[in-house]
Each structure stands twice: as C-alpha cells, then as structure tokens.
Amino acid sequence: MSNPLAEGLKNANRVENDVAAQHLARKSIQSRGLDAVVPAVYAWSPCRYPEVPGETGFGWTISEFKPGSDLDAQFDSLSLEDAIDAVQQLASIFAAIQSSEIPEMVTKFGALTLDDSGVIVGGQPPLLKAGPFDTYTELWVAKLETQLSEVDKSPLLH
C-alpha cells in the first residue's frame, strides 16, 4: 500500500494514519448504529524503508473485503426514490465520520499516527514535508508553501 518511492509522499506514518483514521471512522459509524461500511483492519505494518531495503520495507495493511460496486457507476440508473435514499445514507455516514471523537493525545494538526504504546497521536501529514503543526493556520501555510515550491516542476505552468 505505501510505496516510499512514490514522489511527493512522506511515508513516515502514512500507514498508521490510514489505520488510525479507519479505526476512528468505524467506531463513530458503529456508535450511531449505521452499517459498518468502513473495512476492519486485520493486520498492518509501518513503512520501514530505507532501514529495511526493497519492498520488504514498504508499509502495508490487510483489511476486510467489502463487496459491492461504486455508487458513481450506479447512481444514474437509480430511481429518484433510491437516489434520495442513497444520498441520505451517505449524509448519515459523513455526519458520523465528522463527529468522530478525536483522542485527547491528538493535540496538533496534520495526520494521525501511533506512539510506542499504540495510542493515537498527531503526526506528519503524508503530503507535506513538515508537521505536525501547532495551529490550523500553520498547516495551511505549509500546504501553500509546498504547492508553491512545486510550481517550477509543472510542465503545465511552463
């Protein structure tokens, strides 16, 4: 899942962020009595590259398989009643995820990671070179600075 050779990604805690976010979202959705649409994580390993060379050092997760098809491929063929029902279900799931309780140890902005005891804490975002950040403003400034620093690399802008 986590390719440390991919450009623009910081893999310091990318897998941990996904695992922690899935855990929090799943817990919040279940607390609202909704169907468990977020896959359970059965096992995972953090990125250990380059200390562990090659793909062996890449991070990974093993998650529950959720059968079904993408809604965007089906939505146009739904009746108005079914489309409204689907949108209402999505809104309920989205509201549940937005109301996820963030653990007390997450005191910074960026991403999630796990400390040595397995407690969810704040960590560096996978798409930024710095972080976590003390304020939300600092997070956005870092995002803008990252985008500005990459402007010269864009053939579209040239």
Residue 99 counted as domain residue: yes
Residue 38 counted as domain residue: yes
**Range in 3-12, 18-27, 32-41, 149-158 the model is least confident about:** 3-12
Question: Tens of pLDDT along 130-147?
Answer: 899 999 999 999 999 988
Residue 88 counted as domain residue: yes
CA distance 124 to 143: 12
Chain position carrying tokens 């440390």: 4
Classify 88 in phi/psi space as left (phi over 0), alpha (psi -120 to 50) or beta. alpha
Question: Tens of pLDDT along 81-134?
Answer: 999 999 999 999 999 999 999 999 999 999 999 999 989 999 999 888 889 999
Residue 71 counted as domain residue: yes
Domain ranges, residue 131: 14-149
CA distance 85 to 69: 16
Residue 6 counted as domain residue: no
With a cut of 70, say whether residue 1 has pLDDT above it. Answer: no
Residue 51 counted as domain residue: yes
Residue 157 counted as domain residue: no
Q: Could you give the number of structural domains in the chain?
A: 1
